[in-house]
Each structure stands twice: as structure tokens, then as C-alpha cells.
A and B are shown apart, each in its own frame.
Chain A
């Protein structure tokens, strides 16, 4: 290891000074000399001097004082100091090392010993330099990483929070263990009113867990906005996560669909603790346990989703939380699910206080101070007004709305009825009509009512009276699933016609099914009768449309929707 150093020598004895200088110069080192301690301090420059040799006994500050001062000037830069000494007193020599000296050289000088010691010093300097370089690289890498994380966090939050979590019906809380966390809460209004909610918990913590949330949120928001149903969105999310995530990563989740038109909720639980439904009619919350594998585990062909449905009354509540809550340990070391959460499960906690109560428990039991998992909780106060009219005001009316004049017909036969949901596609065509996009939520609601009536009562011949009780309600949906799965004949025809005349625009939706019709003369269009769990759909339609007409013995219905354009300039 050959390296030439610049060395400062301080010795008041001229002959010793000259001798050492000669020996060092001989090895090729550059030597600066000083005549005493103060002179050494004055000549010391940490940027050029790499090694300092100090005689111990000198006038105007001795070697120890000079060493102290030189170390102060050097600051962060490591400059080894070697003491030169005629004494062989072990205490004096060990003092040299104690105050920060690297080594000492005894007089009279031995060229062989000096060479060996210098080589050792050079090794030390090289090592020190490597360490400093590594430290600097590490520091700049860390800064870069934090910077990247900050940017990623902004993108992440924009994607996972571009939703309607501020809706007054919702209350949520969220405690992460890292900058990024593996829990997500998503909420989006559906175009036909109501809301989709998702509480997800990805395997692991930190950035690697958060990364899967991006495609999840993307599909959730896009597909909800386009009018796809929960039962269509879930398999899509599963397929996407399965494709992109490594085998050991998945997302435990609860998906909740709040349907305002028939005041019901559908719940899909895959791998999260029980979702609690606080009905005013019951003393204890109804528990919806996990019936599915988490998202991203099964391949698309093996995936099946078990969804449960229940009807609600305004003011009922729903609560879901991640396993960070369920598995949290209380002060005595017991898991929350076996101790702290019992009063909640037994109905001793008022539904509207349940979130505050839970936060209080997590605080008292010391979980929030030292969480070992991400913790999230979601609670929603159910109401038939959720997601209604909320998006309307955001649209600015176009100044110039071109007239539109078109019609199309869409016939779905058994195979298509089983496998597709036509509504998002029909809606997409309709929202291209100038001026109509601002009414898209109403149009979608009309369309989905007409379609589900045609499918469920016309083609599948389901009796809606079944929906009159809570049990019957879920039976109804189970029955719907099984009949649909084995459907071999039947059709639903959707005809759409848009016309323009001056400022007036008109949309005519005609939906016909292969069923035998029904006694439409006996229908009550009384929406105020909330006790009735069925038939609300038609009453709602009647309110939304300017005219509703039945034909073909009730197996066909025509809905007229009128609007005006360009009146406000």
C-alpha cells in the first residue's frame, strides 16, 4: 500500500526535527515543519495535512495542548496524531493515546519502526476514507429514498383518497405503522345513488404492502363510476391482484354495496374480521363473517364470491375493521377479539358511539402507542339518501348542447343475461348525449330499476313479496343467483330513443322481457310507505320519469324522461 502523505512535524529540537524530516522525505512523503506547539497549530490545515507528529515537550504549548487544539480545528476530518517522545514512561505514553493520539514514536528514531508505523497509519487512513465515502453514499441514498417516498406517498394518497370518504354518513380511522401502510379504505358514490365501500388489508406492512393498493383503487373507482356492480368489480380486482402480486401477497377485504333504491346492503367478506350490522330491530349486531378467500389468492376460474344481503332502515349502522383491531393485544396480553371487543359483539355499545368507543379502547389498552399492525376501522350510518344528488352540483352545464337524435335496441338472450351486465355499456352510450351526462345518476337509476325488474320478475319469475322480511330478503337474492345460473331461455330487450326539438330533449327507454307480465293496475306509487320492502322501485321510477307506461300485459314498460338545454344561456 503505497501512498504519499503530507505530514506536519512539530519539534523544538532542530536536530530531531531535521532527522525525522529526512527519514520521512526519503519515503517520498511531503513534510511541513513547525518549531513548537503554537507554530504547529498555526500551520495545521485539515484539508492538506493528513498526519501530524508532535513532540511532547515544547515551548509555547506542549504536544498535548497542540493535539487538543488541532483535533478541534480538524472537526469531522480524521487526522491521526503521532507523539514523538524521548521518555519511556508508560504513563506518559498511555496519556498520549488517551487524549486521542493514534500512536507514538520513541526517540532515538529507528527508520524500520517508523516505516512500519507509517504503513499502519496509511491503512487506517484508507479505511477511514472508505468509511466516509460509504457514509456519504448512504446518506445521499437515504435522502433520495425519503424524497422518492414523499413523491410516491402523494401519488398514493391521490389515488387511494380520491373518493367520498368525507360523506357525513361515514366515520373512519386509520393508524399506520409505516409511512405507507397496507390498509386502504375506499368509498365511491354509484351513478344510480348509494355507495360502494371497501376496507382492505394487504399482506405485510410498508411500501410493499401499499403498492397493491394502487390497482385495487384504480379498478374500484373506475368500475364504480361506470356503473358496474359489486359482483362484477370483485372478480376483476381479484384477477388483477392475482396476476400482478407475488404468490405470498394478497388483500383481505370487505366490500360493501349500499343500495338506496331498495334500502339494502350487500356484503362480501374475504379474510377480514366479522362485519357488524347494527339493526334497530335487534339487540345484538348481526355478524357477517368471512365467507371468501382474500383477494388475489385464487385464479380467476376458481374464484367465486359469496355475497350476503340484508335490508336496512334509516339509522341502522354497519361497522368493519381490519385485523389490526381484532388481533391487537390488551394490557394483559389477550387478543382484542377474546376480551375488549366482547361488549361490542354483545350489543352493549351503542351503535352510534361504536367508533369512538373503539378508539378509546385502543388508547386505554396501549395499542395506539405501539401498534404492531396497521389499524383501520370504517363505520357507516345507513340511509336512503346516501349518494343521491351529491354529484349533480359538480357538473357545469355545457354552453352549447348540440341536438341529438338516435335510437338503438339491445336484446340479451339467456347466455348473455347469465354472463353480462349491459347497464354500464348502455349508460356509456347515453352519457355521450350532450346535456344528458349531468343527469346520468337519474338515468342510471331508471335504467337499472327497469332492467332488474325485467330480469328478476319477468325472466327469473321471482316473487318480490319474499323481500318483505329480513330472512326472505337474503333468500330472495340466493334464489336470484341460483335461477340466473341455470337460466336457459328468456330475454330482455332494451330500446333507447333520444330526440331533440328546440330546447327540449327527450329520452324514451323501453324495456321488455320474456315473462308473463304482472297486474300493473294494482301497483301503488306511494313512495312514502317505507314499511313496504318491495315495490318501492316502481314508485321511485314514477317520481323520476315524466311518464311511465306499461304494455303487453305488464311485460313491457316505457319510461319517458324529458329535459331542456340551453335555457340558462
Chain B
């Protein structure tokens, strides 16, 4: 399940994923971040993600690319133990702002 919320005041697009974050989310996730063309920053809420695989990491890279690559403002929020572990192994803290 992928949900999105766009805050017009701050320009921040929040994408929330529930359950397994894997290839099955691909279409919805892509739609979520391409739906708003005026977003200035992105928050990905991982609080309710139970599992994340390498294609999910790939989708996060797609989002980063979409959001401007090295200039991208993307935060990964509330990742739990296992998910945080996977993000750390991939060294994604060098590409994203990962907040508890």
C-alpha cells in the first residue's frame, strides 16, 4: 500500500508505504512521486514497512533521481530496525537524509 500527501504550504510530498516495500509497489510508488510536479521536497515514511528489498532501494534511487539527483531533498523517516539495517548496509545515508 502506497499513500501520498502533498502539503501545499511547505511543498513537501509525503509518501507512506505500508507492509512489504518491494517490486509490487513499483507502479504505485512511481505514480505517487510523479503525480505532484511542484514538490520541493520529499518525505518517505517507512514507519509501517515490515520489509524492504533491493528493488525498493532501486525505487528510492528513482525518486532521488526524479527529485534532482545530488540536489534532491529526500528524507527517509521512521525506518524500523530491520529496514534501517538494510539502508545502512547499502550506505544509503550518503544519499538520503535518514531520520529515526
Q: Which residues of A contact B (CB under 8 A)?
A: 201-204, 247-250, 252, 270-273, 289-294, 297, 302, 323, 327, 335, 337-338, 373
Quote the shortest CB–CB distance from A487 to chain B (angstroms). Answer: 27
Q: Which of A249, A291, A337 contacts B58 (CB 8 A)?
A: A249
Chain A neighbourhood of B61, CB < 8 A: 247-248, 250, 297
Chain B neighbourhood of A252, CB < 8 A: 54, 89-90
Q: Which of A270, A272, A293 contacts B95 (CB 8 A)?
A: A293
Chain A neighbourhood of B57, CB < 8 A: 203, 250
Chain A neighbourhood of B15, CB < 8 A: none
A247-B65, A337-B85 as given contacts; A204 in contact with B23, CB under 8 Å: yes
- CB-based closest 9 A-B pairs: A248-B58, A247-B65, A248-B62, A271-B90, A203-B58, A203-B54, A293-B91, A290-B89, A204-B55
Q: Decide yes or no whether B7 CB sits under 8 A from chain A.
A: no
**Cβ of A290 and Cβ of B62 under 8 Å apart?**
no
When C-beta atoms are compared, the residue in chain B nearest to A274 turns out to be B89
29 contacts across the A-B interface (CB closer than 8 A): A201-B54, A203-B58, A247-B58, A247-B62, A248-B58, A248-B59, A248-B62, A249-B58, A250-B57, A250-B58, A252-B54, A252-B89, A271-B89, A271-B90, A290-B89, A290-B90, A290-B91, A293-B91, A293-B92, A293-B94, A293-B95, A297-B61, A302-B70, A323-B89, A327-B53, A327-B86, A335-B82, A337-B85, A338-B82
Chain B neighbourhood of A338, CB < 8 A: 82
How many chain B residues touch A (CB < 8 A): the figure is 22
Quote the shortest CB–CB distance from B88 to chain A (angstroms). Answer: 8
Quote the shortest CB–CB distance from A243 to chain B (angstroms). Answer: 14
**Cβ of A294 and Cβ of B62 under 8 Å apart?**
no
List 14 additional A-B contacts (Cβ < 8 Å) besides A247-B65, A294-B91: A201-B54, A203-B54, A204-B23, A204-B58, A248-B59, A248-B61, A250-B57, A250-B61, A289-B89, A290-B91, A293-B92, A294-B90, A297-B95, A327-B53
CA distance A373 to B55 in the complex (A): 11
CA distance A291 to B92 in the complex (A): 10
Chain B neighbourhood of A327, CB < 8 A: 51, 53, 86
CA distance A297 to B91 in the complex (A): 11
CA distance A258 to B65 in the complex (A): 36
Quote the shortest CB–CB distance from A202 to chain B (angstroms). Answer: 8
CA distance A151 to B88 in the complex (A): 38
Q: Mark B41-84, 1 if CB is under 8 A from A, else 0.
A: 00000000001011101110110010000100000000000100
Chain B neighbourhood of A273, CB < 8 A: 89
Chain B neighbourhood of A373, CB < 8 A: 53
CA distance A202 to B54 in the complex (A): 8
**Cβ of A204 and Cβ of B54 under 8 Å apart?**
yes
Chain B neighbourhood of A293, CB < 8 A: 90-92, 94-95
Chain A neighbourhood of B92, CB < 8 A: 293
Chain A neighbourhood of B65, CB < 8 A: 247
When C-beta atoms are compared, the residue in chain B nearest to A289 turns out to be B89
CA distance A515 to B91 in the complex (A): 39
Chain B neighbourhood of A250, CB < 8 A: 57-58, 61
Chain A neighbourhood of B51, CB < 8 A: 327
When C-beta atoms are compared, the residue in chain A nearest to B59 turns out to be A248
Chain B neighbourhood of A247, CB < 8 A: 58, 61-62, 65
**Cβ of B59 and Cβ of A292 under 8 Å apart?**
no
CA distance A290 to B94 in the complex (A): 12
Quote the shortest CB–CB distance from A339 to chain B (angstroms). Answer: 12
CA distance A120 to B84 in the complex (A): 61
Chain A neighbourhood of B23, CB < 8 A: 204
Chain A neighbourhood of B86, CB < 8 A: 323, 327
When C-beta atoms are compared, the residue in chain B nearest to A247 turns out to be B65
CA distance A521 to B70 in the complex (A): 55
* Best-buried of B23, B61, B94 by chain A (most CB within 10 Å): B61
Q: Mark B13-30, 1 if CB is under 8 A from A, else 0.
A: 000000000010000000
**Cβ of B91 and Cβ of A271 under 8 Å apart?**
yes
Chain A neighbourhood of B82, CB < 8 A: 335, 338
